[in-house]
Chain A
Amino acid sequence: MNSGHLGCYLEKTCMKAALVFITWIYISLIVETTWCVFCGSTLLHIDLIPALICWYALNDRLLRGTFWVIGAGVLASLFSSLKFFLFPFSYVTAFFTVYFIRSNVLELTRFHAYLITAFISVEILVVQLAGSGNPELLWPWGLIQAGLNMAVAPIVFWICDRSLFILSEIVSKFHHEK
């Protein structure tokens, strides 16, 4: 498949957001699991994944989105010792929540999106902590972590928007070349 065909394929299937999402999920998984070796292990850490799920749920369709979010969950499971189904289950739950809000709220501002990130962070942590037998960690650590995830959400949204814009430019360039 040459570059022209690739551009055409991406244009047809509108997979740009999915590509951006899965790429950044993978990068954040790698970074989050390696930087702790140097920075020391602490409970609080910068977690980009809830913000990425929120951004993706605001930018893609339900069916394809579910498929890619399950893929992200499976990918995350490989980096953890938690039970295999916990990551896909918690991520898909978060995706559905954001998708539901997006479908029912008329004017969703960026600040609302950041708030939703905090909300789905709690949701993800509830599923994962309860599933791994440590529900007592939700208070206060889980809620502080959710606040931190909300604080990094603007950066994640900006990075994803820029990535999507750049990818769209590349795709349209290939499309015109064809």
Chain B
Amino acid sequence: MSRQPPKKSKGNKKALLPAIITVVVLGLTIVLITKTGIIVPAEMALKDTNGRLQSLVFSPFSKLKLIWKSYLDLVNVREENEVLKAQLAQLENEITTYREALIENRRLKQLLDIKESAPWKGVVAHVIGTDIASWRAVITIDAGKENGIDVDMPVLCQGGLLGRVIESSMAFSKVMLLTDYHSRVAALVQRNRARGIIKGEGSRGCKLDYVKKGVDIQVGDTVVTSGLDGVFPKGLLVGKVKAVGPGDRSDLFQYIAVKPSAKIDEAEEVLVLLRPQKQDE
């Protein structure tokens, strides 16, 4: 059985003509619309409507997406926050350490200046404790006989004279401060060379005793060691006169309150001056 080619029917030819006409008319219409711009307002209105619909539908989705993203961010932020907090704590710790080192550096520089200007060689030590009897102005330092320290050696800190060594073990020493009730230092007023004895008065500071009435002493006068006691070398800064009074009628001497130049309550590092004969040994 042979296959015969399909015959072209008259109906097909009739349908082709309207189709061509439709295409031509549509083409002409499109060209006309694009060229003349007649339909632009309608197109824009349609686009706007579409846009509104799109935004209406998209809005919940976008919010949902935002919530999801925020949640993810929060999770990350929480972790990041913890990491940052840890870093902040570490940095604060480091800053404190550096600040402490800076302050210590300043103090040591001041001590170094004193050390260079002091008449004898010195040993730097740290304050590690105070006396259990709180009315005694005595501190413990972390240097002793093995550092060349012995009893009656002068001790300085930033500002001036701090006191003298009263006990010494191999690695530690006790220092009696200027303000201790039992402390005595031979001193003189720098301006007029008036001599006296510096006595400790506890929390009130010190007083310059045995200066006769009538000797001209003024508030602000500088008091230095006189070297007559054989313990402290001459010329170490003790403090400044903060008050002068006539004392009682029966007193032969003036009352002269002295504020120590050394920061006694804040001393953390001290300089112990080694007596020359000890160095020779």
Minimum CB distance partner of B175 in chain A: A81
Write out, one digit per residue, whether chain A residues 91-134 have a CB within 8 A of any chain B CB (1) or not (0).
Answer: 00000000000000000000000000000000000001100111
Whether A132 pairs with B136 at a CB distance below 8 angstroms is: yes
| Residues of chain A within 8 A of B130, CB atoms compared | 33-34, 36-37, 41
In the complex, are the beta carbons of A80 and B133 less than 8 A apart? yes
- Contact between chains at A81 and B136 (CB < 8 Å): yes
Give residues 220-267 of B contacting A (CB, 8 Å): 264-266
Q: Is B105 an interface residue (CB 8 A)?
A: no
How far is it, in angstroms, between the C-alpha of A76 and the C-alpha of B131 when the chains are bound?
A: 10
Given contacts A43-B203, A81-B167, A134-B181, contact A33 B136 (CB under 8 A): no
Q: Are B129 and A45 in contact (CB under 8 A)?
A: no
* CB pair B132 A43 closer than 8 Å: no
| Cβ of B137 under 8 Å from chain A | yes
The answer, yes or no, to whether B164 is at the interface (CB within 8 Å) is: no
Smallest CB gap from B140: residue in A:
A33
Select from chain A the residue with minimum beta-carbon distance to B266: A40
If A40-B265, A43-B202, A133-B182 touch, does A34 touch B136 (CB 8 Å cutoff)? no
Is the CB–CB distance between A41 and B133 below 8 Å? no
Chain B residues at the A interface, C-beta cutoff of 8 Å: 127-140, 166-167, 174, 176, 181-182, 202-203, 264-266, 268
A2 at the interface (CB under 8 A from B): no
Is A29 in contact with B133, judged by CB distance below 8 angstroms?
A: no
Q: What are 15 A-B contacts with C-beta separation under 8 Å?
A: A29-B132, A32-B132, A33-B132, A34-B130, A37-B139, A41-B130, A79-B132, A80-B132, A80-B136, A81-B131, A81-B138, A81-B166, A81-B174, A137-B135, A137-B202
Q: Which 4 A-B pairs rank lowest in CB-CB distance, beginning with the nearest? A: A36-B130, A33-B129, A79-B132, A81-B138
Contacts of A13 in B (CB 8 A): none
Cβ of A36: which chain B residues have Cβ within 8 Å of it?
A: 129-130, 134
Q: Which residues of B contact A133 (CB under 8 A)?
A: 181-182
The smallest C-beta distance from B45 to any residue of chain A, in angstroms, reads 81
A79 → B minimal CB distance (Å)? 4
Q: Enumerate A57-87 residues with CB–CB distance to B below 8 Å.
A: 76, 79-82
How far, in Å, is B256 (CB) from chain A's closest CB? 21
A36 to B132, CA, bound (A): 10
**CB-based contact B134/A81 at 8 Å:** no
- What is the 8 Å Cβ interface bit string for chain A, positions 129-173, against chain B (1 contact, 0 not)? 100111001000100000000000000000000000000000000
B146 to chain A, nearest CB (A): 19
Q: In the bound complex, do residue A43 and residue B176 qualify as a contact, i.e. CB atoms below 8 Å apart?
A: no
- CB contacts (< 8 Å) of B176 on chain A: these are 81
Cβ-defined contact, B132 with A41, below 8 A:
no
